[in-house]
Amino acid sequence: MDPLHVTLVHPLRSFRLELELEVDRETVALVGPSGAGKTSVLRAIAGLLRPEQGRVALGDDVWLDTGAGISLRPERRSVGLVFQEYALFPHMTVAENVAYAGPRRAGELMEQLGIAGLGNARPGELSGGERQRVALARALARDPAVLLLDEPLAALDAHTRVRVRAEIEDLLARLRLPTLLVTHDFQDAAALADRVGVVVDGRIVQVGSPAELIAGPASPFVADFTGGNLLRGTARPAPSGLTEVTLADGSRIFSTDRLEGHVGAVVYPWEVAVAREAPADSAQNHVVGPIAGMVPVANRVRVRIGPLTAEITAASVERLGLRPGEPVVASFKATGTRLVPLA
């Protein structure tokens, strides 16, 4: 299987899309805020949008090369594009939708995706999760060499979402196709993709595995996007060999990263411990304050203390008898505190 190689330059409303990416037999997610140009990338690869400049090739098979004046029509490019709103044909049954690109594999795919029993239903009668599966089956019926998924989970309610996410994860693992996925949700990207590219204003600001992005965010945006706390302050070297960051309220924290000037200190909520009193442990950093809010998330509780959010188990909340308004100490290690430069 050949890798998909894409370079694009295209003006969008308020910025330019400028990116380059390569997708092997893997799933790459482009994540970023709405309006960052992610969908335009998919449309350009599929041939629905003609970029100002660019090249799209699958191995030696060139689909687009603006320099050489090559631009294959969408129907000549071997892509399976699943649209955000699914774009199922409302006047056709499920079976007719799936067989539209080719009847050969339609039955097998409907079986595989668990929609064989819906063959005679029309899209209007289906639930969100069922539409999603029909859209996937229809895209795969063409036997595409590349799979493109546009916000595959955005149109689903929270409950269905978790189940469909697992289904897609499973399907992608079986297909082993070069897959490019677009989403505004980092959690979805982390669950489905081998590599994640963060897109802001038309550019990829950082690429890496989900774990790499969480461990070493290159910018405050990436840190915020991946779910980390961001504490703004001024950094300078401390005598201990660590970096000392003075926060806006005058308090100081330490990091093992070396950086100076205006920085953001990134701490992930699950690396913050909460106690009644400052513990005598190895943690260098302590933030003292009242509990500003508590939000349960499954079997965990997100506790807000000043500028920090800590994620601790519900059992710990119970044991410590934590309640909003009570003073506590949040502590985290200097080794778990990432520094990113601020503009």
Residues that bind another protein (CB under 8 A): 32-40, 46-48, 73-75, 77, 79-81, 83-91, 100-102, 122-124, 128, 131, 138-139, 141-142, 150-151, 154-155, 182-184, 199
Q: Is residue 294 within 8 Å of residue 283, measured between CB atoms?
A: no
Q: How far is the CB of 87 from another protein (least distance, A)?
A: 4
CA distance 45 to 262: 39
Q: Which residues of 160-196 are buried (b: 16+ CB within 10 A; e: fewer)?
A: bbeebbebbeebbeebebbbbbbbbbbbbbbbbbebb
Our CB check for another protein shows the closer of 89 and 270 to be: 89
Q: How far is the CB of 155 from another protein (least distance, A)?
A: 5
Our CB check for another protein shows the closer of 70 and 173 to be: 70
Structure tokens at 192: 């489905």
Q: How far is the CB of 112 from another protein (least distance, A)?
A: 18
Q: How far is the CB of 209 from another protein (least distance, A)?
A: 22
Bridging pattern class, strands 53-58 and 195-200: unpaired
Q: How far is the CB of 25 from another protein (least distance, A)?
A: 21
Bridging pattern class, strands 27-31 and 195-200: parallel
**Closest by Cα among 316, 245, 314 to 274:** 316
Our CB check for another protein shows the closer of 34 and 299 to be: 34
Our CB check for another protein shows the closer of 84 and 335 to be: 84
Our CB check for another protein shows the closer of 124 and 321 to be: 124
CA distance 124 to 51: 34
Our CB check for another protein shows the closer of 106 and 171 to be: 106
CA 43 to chain centre: 19
Q: How far is the CB of 197 from another protein (least distance, A)?
A: 13
